Structure 1
Amino acid sequence: MSSKGPVGGSLAIEVQLRAEAAASLKALGHRLDRQLTELQQLGQQVQAMAPSPLRDKKLAEYNEKRREAEYRKWTLIVQREAMGLFNHDDVEEIYRVPPKLS
């Protein structure tokens, strides 16, 4: 009688876990990409506005959304590291968070 488990049992689980992790990374990347597009558009609006209370409100909204994008990008990097991916040059190149505005 063999003490080995079923052939491919733990490998199949490993493959499934990696597929789930990859799907999670992909979804996070898509959300971050959409968020950065919206952030860029909002930044252009803010820069086109003359000083006013409305501009101040939009500026605060922009900087808050920028902070959220930085956090989402950090989350993506942490998840990549959990999968064993430690070079994040591609993340930095693809997901460029625009600068803070004042």
Structure 2
Amino acid sequence: MSSAVSKKRGFDDSFQSDDRRLAKRSLIMPEVAGKITCIELVNFMCHSSLTLNFDVNKYNCSYIIGPNGSGKSALFAALNIGLGGAGRSNERGKRINDYIKENEK
């Protein structure tokens, strides 16, 4: 649809050009899912020192299980912050300093 026709009909075709640009960009740089291979926490929330290695070549899925208070949520809070999320979205603290293990600050 030409710009003159689209404006006459009340459509904005600028989105169409954005879609084409994004389609070209995705052909150049395809999105590839990443895999978490290792997590290391030091003085983070309830963990003094924790290292988890995931054998992503052998297993496609890993489960994090444990009793209440064992630090499962702390692990996911660390992942969230480590991947660029805001600390406040974890509902555990409002600042990054709130996540440092007590008596270790």
Question: TM-score under structure 2 normalisation?
Answer: 0.23
Greater helix fraction, Structure 1 or Structure 2: 1
Larger radius of gyration: 2
Higher relative contact order structure (alpha carbons within 8 Å, sequence separation ≥ 6): 1
Greater strand fraction, Structure 1 or Structure 2: 2
